[in-house]
């Protein structure tokens, strides 16, 4: 690296580093001064004396000059290392700032996706809940009636399950709220939130939907029956489910 480039980069150093660089300049000046002083303390100052014979350096002066030159080289090397260290620290800081900005953007995107999923699910829930309430339920429009109606359909379709198994899982999954929506897990982020009494996602609901029930996750009887059908396929019966399924 040329001296002019090092000098330009040194302008970016802190006060301590600049003092070190200043020392380099001082040593250089000292080396230059010594190189012009002959070993004879009584050297001629007249022009004719200088032209009469070449300047001869004594061994002590030569050693001192070499020592100063070695010191100069070492300090130049130190100054260059300081410049590189400062550049590395600057690059590391810039990288940390970039990573922080990316993490913040990712968090904002995730929050936006959750809000969008929540809004869409809530909109579907309002429409479906309205239709569910409008239709007549054979055993009553409440949790007890929904379970009993679902059990009658399950019996006709050969889907295993008991009142206790359905009720226990419904309370754990939704606390008996047919409009319950999970708006925070990976399914919600992907736009397919778990919905209804037994928290079933739409692709699973569509696949295990039982004919004779409304085709909506928000209908309590349809939700229970499809979920029981899924549980029967995966676990043998909804009665065998004791946690998230």
Query: pTM of the predicted model, to two decimals?
Result: 0.50
Mean per-residue pLDDT of the chain: 79
Measured at the CA of 218, the angle between CA 113 and CA 141, to 5 degrees, comes to 150
Domains and CATH numbers, the chain: 3-102 (no CATH), 135-240 (1.10.530.10)
Q: How far is CA 95 from CA 104, 124, 219, 225, in A?
A: 14, 43, 51, 53
Question: Residues 127-180: pLDDT tens digits?
Answer: 555 555 567 888 999 999 999 999 999 999 999 999 999 999 999 999 999 999
Token output for 88: 């590395």
């Amino acid at each position: 690296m040329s001296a002019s480039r090092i000098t330009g980069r040194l302008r970016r150093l802190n006060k301590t580093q600049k003092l070190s660089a200043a020392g380099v300049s001082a040593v250089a000046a000292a080396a230059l001064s010594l190189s012009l002083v002959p070993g004879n303390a009584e050297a001629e100052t007249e022009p004719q004396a200088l032209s009469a014979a070449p300047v001869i350096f004594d061994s002590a002066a030569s050693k001192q000059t070499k020592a100063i030159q070695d010191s100069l080289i070492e300090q130049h090397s130190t100054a260059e290392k300081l410049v590189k260290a400062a550049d590395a620290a600057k690059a590391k800081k810039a990288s940390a700032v970039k990573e922080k900005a990316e993490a913040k953007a990712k968090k904002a995107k995730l929050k936006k996706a959750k809000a969008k999923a929540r809004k869409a699910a809530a909109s579907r829930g309002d429409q479906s809940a309205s239709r569910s309430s409008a239709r007549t339920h054979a055993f009553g429009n409440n949790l007890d009636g929904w379970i009993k109606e679902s059990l009658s359909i399950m019996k006709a379709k050969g889907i295993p399950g008991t009142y206790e198994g359905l009720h226990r899982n419904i309370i754990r999954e939704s606390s008996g709220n047919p409009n319950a929506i999970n708006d925070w897990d990976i399914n919600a982020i992907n736009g397919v939130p778990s919905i209804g009494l037994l928290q079933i996602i739409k692709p699973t609901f569509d696949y295990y939907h039982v004919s004779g029930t409304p085709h909506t996750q928000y209908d309590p009887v349809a939700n229970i029956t499809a979920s029981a059908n899924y549980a029967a396929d995966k676990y043998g019966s909804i009665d065998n489910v004791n946690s998230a399924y």
